[in-house]
């Protein structure tokens, strides 16, 4: 082994030898590059094991992280120059994760590396409701590690089922996690992948497929919490808002549900809109799920009094806290909507906080009553003022449209109301 390494360094001046001699006792993994591309389309390797990329082709080989040409998924994994025929590029991964790469000189030549730590296996992510686990597993089975176009097939199959696409949020988190594990960040996101028919993944199950990808990314790269804004910088601007939603989830994963630390990480972003959206999903991660998937010891809130946390939050954190605190209560109290509606109109809440609280109740109401005649929920808001009802119906419509409910069906819904029909229709017509 020692002779081999010295010969390699002596006769191949193209070798990147950083950390090489300190690891000469590690087994070597070879990936050969030929005129047809990299000989292994994917390889699993333990953390710290040297990877040798041998250029045995007739063309230059510049091995670098996806996406092309930015290399931003994991910028340290970049040869930073072309290796001529006969050259060898060596790289040692020091973090786990999925690293998709390509030849910068011929970007359709691609591969995927799975870096694992056998001594620290990750807890499988499972956010899917029990009654949908078999359905989730059916979609997971569509993903083929040898064919990233299977992502597009999975998404099309999911969206062709209108009923399921309205109730696939939790499940799609798990789909996003698996897509990252198999294909890495950019390929799972699909935007920069020319081999996949373009699809807007932020529309899949109201963003949550994307959020699963981001959660898994942050689990493997906790250093991203120091600069979370960089994660979404390479994404088309019209999709960045959805991305920063998911960053909030990801930060909570990497901090093990430390809310204060996560909110501070959100504040490092330069755009106030993105900070706000990051706040949203910090609170959602706190109030919505249990702790098992994130390695935390406690929920961080009292299920009997979820709103106590919001009342002491900083001013710009309050609206997003109220959005999700009521949802945490409902999931722990058999969907007692009458209580949370009364809470949202308490005198000790500002009109600003009350408005956000009622908006999110409207969203939750739509999701909960879709298959149980939503018009029956009218009786629950009969004591609200007209402006409060407007906020409530406004967000029933917003979330319904986001969940692929046709506008004509919402018009029918409004017409079925006994006393709130006009308010309901006005909020729908004025929706931007």
Residue 189 is assigned to a structural domain of this protein: no
User: From first to last of its 432 residues, what are the pLDDT tens digits of the chain?
Assistant: 433 433 343 333 334 433 333 333 445 689 999 999 999 888 999 999 999 999 999 999 999 999 889 898 999 999 999 999 999 999 999 999 999 999 999 999 999 999 999 888 776 778 888 888 999 999 999 999 888 889 888 988 888 887 887 778 788 889 999 999 999 998 998 766 666 655 666 667 767 888 889 989 998 998 998 889 888 877 777 778 788 888 988 998 888 888 899 999 999 998 888 898 899 888 888 887 665 555 555 667 887 777 888 888 998 898 888 878 887 888 777 777 778 888 788 767 788 788 777 777 777 776 665 555 677 778 888 888 888 888 888 888 887 887 777 888 889 889 989 999 999 999 999 886
Alpha carbons within 13 angstroms on the beta-carbon side of residue 239 total 21
Residue 171 lies in a domain: no
**Ranges of H-type helices in 92-236:** 133-140, 150-159, 162-165, 169-183, 185-189, 208-220
Here the CATH number for the domain that contains residue 16 is 2.60.40.420
Residue that finishes a domain, picked among 116, 137, 160: 116
CA atoms within 13 A on the CB side of 191: 20
pTM for the predicted model, two decimal places: 0.76
Instruction: Tell me if 125 is assigned to some domain.
Output: no
Whether 173 is covered by a domain: the verdict is no
Structural domain harbouring 100: 2-116
Domain stop point among 116, 150, 175:
116
Q: How would you list the strands of the sheet with 97-103, edge to edge?
A: 42-46, 106-116, 97-103, 63-65
Q: Is residue 428 domain-resident? A: yes
Give dist(CA 245, CA 78) in Å, integer. 29
C-beta atoms surrounding 223 within 10 Å: 10
Please report which residue ranges of 221-336 form alpha helices under DSSP H.
Answer: 237-254, 259-267, 272-288, 308-311, 318-332
Domain C-terminal end among 75, 100, 116: 116
38, part of any domain: yes
Between CA 388 and CA 392, with CA 389 as vertex, the angle to 5 degrees is: 95
> Is 288 among the domain residues?
no
Helix (H, G, I), strand (E, B) or coil at 244: helix
In a domain, 60, yes or no: yes
Overall domain count for the chain: 2
């Amino acid at each position: 082994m020692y002779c081999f390494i010295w010969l390699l360094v002596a006769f191949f001046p193209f070798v990147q030898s950083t950390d090489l001699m300190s690891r000469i006792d590690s087994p070597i993994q070879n990936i050969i590059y030929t005129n047809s591309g990299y000989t292994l389309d994917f390889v699993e390797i333990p953390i710290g094991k040297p990877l040798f990329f041998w250029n045995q082709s007739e063309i230059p080989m510049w091995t670098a992280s996806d996406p092309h040409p930015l290399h931003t998924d994991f910028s340290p994994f970049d040869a930073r120059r072309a290796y001529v025929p006969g050259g060898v590029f060596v790289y040692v991964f020091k973090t786990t994760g999925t690293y998709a790469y390509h030849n910068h000189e011929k970007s359709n030549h691609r591969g995927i590396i799975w870096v694992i730590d056998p001594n620290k296996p990750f807890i499988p992510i499972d956010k899917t409701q029990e009654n949908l686990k078999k359905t989730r597993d059916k979609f997971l089975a569509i993903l083929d590690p040898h064919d990233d176009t299977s992502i597009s097939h999975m998404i099309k199959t999911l969206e062709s089922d209108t009923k399921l696409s309205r109730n696939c949020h939790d499940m799609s988190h798990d789909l996003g996690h698996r897509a990252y594990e198999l294909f890495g960040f950019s390929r799972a996101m699909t935007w920069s992948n020319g081999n996949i028919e373009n699809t807007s993944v932020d529309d899949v199950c109201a963003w949550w497929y994307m959020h699963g990808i981001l959660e898994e990314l942050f689990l493997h790269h906790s250093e991203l919490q120091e600069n979370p804004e960089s994660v979404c910088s390479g994404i088309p601007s019209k999709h960045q808002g959805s991305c920063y939603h998911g960053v909030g989830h990801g930060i909570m994963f990497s901090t093990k549900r430390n809310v204060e630390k996560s909110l501070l990480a959100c504040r490092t972003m330069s755009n106030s809109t993105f900070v706000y959206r990051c706040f949203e999903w910090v609170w959602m991660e706190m109030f919505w799920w249990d702790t098992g998937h994130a390695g935390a010891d406690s929920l961080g809130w009292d299920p009997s009094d979820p709103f106590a946390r919001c009342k002491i939050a900083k001013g710009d954190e309050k609206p997003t806290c109220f959005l999700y605190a009521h949802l945490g209560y409902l999931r722990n109290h058999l969907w007692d909507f009458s209580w949370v509606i009364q809470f949202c109109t308490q005198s000790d809440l500002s009109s600003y906080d009350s408005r956000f609280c009622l908006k999110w109740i409207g969203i939750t109401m739509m999701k909960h009553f879709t298959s149980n005649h939503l018009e029956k929920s009218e009786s629950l808001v009969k004591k609200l003022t007209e402006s409060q009802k407007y906020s409530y119906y406004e967000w029933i419509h917003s979330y319904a449209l986001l969940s692929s409910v046709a506008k004509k069906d919402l018009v029918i819904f409004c017409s079925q109301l006994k006393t709130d029909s006009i308010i309901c229709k006005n909020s729908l017509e004025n929706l931007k």
